[in-house]
Amino acid sequence: MKRILKWRFLILLAALALAVLYASGWMERIYKGVKMRLVVREIVAPDAMPIAEFEQLHLDRETWEGLRITDGDGNITQLSDLEAPVVFINYWASWCGPCVAEMPGIHGLYEDLKDEVGFVMINSDRTVEKARQYLDREGYPFSVQYWEEPVPEVFKTRSIPMTLVLDRRTGTLYRHWGIVNFDTAANRDFLRRLSR
């Protein structure tokens, strides 16, 4: 009888703890934290999210036209010099688990759309060499890139990964913070429609 009462008490205590976690919002935070750890360890794939559902901002041409990108060798390019009408911009670092987990999907998207979409990979590593070592080790064809100052506020971030898709024809900027699996048919189709 004591054993049954003990188990009932433990079940009641566990149910009460779950109710408190749920009511306080901690249950969702714990779930997201566990899921992120599984994604970073490549046990679970990142969630796919349509780029069309990103936050959308309208930019004046002068906001983005003068943006300059420098590569790891110091070569400078203006964003307006890229030939593609659509530019996919990702902020990443080799030390950022979510960024690393997101990179295979970006690479798949790049392989399919590199002739139609411009790809700018803004790096946050402390050294160019560290970023290059990571890209070489994983076999990614991206160059290490940084913004040249000044950078408009809308292009700045305090957390990574962050992804921007700029439709240069309409001035629409699609913006999202967080990890996404970009290598989906819906995202490829959306970017192709924008680039035509």
Q: Which two tokens stand for residue 103?
A: 């990179």
Rounded to whole angstroms, the Cα distance separating 22 from 28 reads 7
Question: How far does Cα 162 stand from its chain's mean position?
Answer: 4
In the chain, domain spans: 2-40, 51-195
- Going by pLDDT thresholds of 50, 70 and 90, the confidence category of residue 40 is low
C-alpha distances out from residue 110 to 5, 19, 80, Å = 60, 44, 20
Is 31 or 19 the better-scoring residue by pLDDT? 19
Which pLDDT belongs to residue 44? 60
- Going by pLDDT thresholds of 50, 70 and 90, the confidence category of residue 34 is low
Residues 148-176 pLDDT 10s: 988 999 999 989 999 999 999 999 999 99
Taking CB atoms within 8 Å and a gap of at least 24, the contacts of 136-140 are 138/103, 140/103, 140/107
Task: Give strand ranges (E) for 19-171.
Answer: 55-58, 68-71, 76-78, 86-92, 118-123, 145-148, 162-167
How would CATH label the architecture of 51-195?
3-Layer(aba) Sandwich (3.40)
Which pLDDT belongs to residue 31? 54
Which residue in the block uniquely carries the two structure tokens 């902020």? 91
Residue 111: pLDDT over 80? yes
Query: pLDDT averaged over the chain?
Result: 87
Rounded to whole angstroms, the Cα distance separating 106 from 140 reads 10
Residues 61-83 pLDDT 10s: 888 888 999 998 899 999 888 88
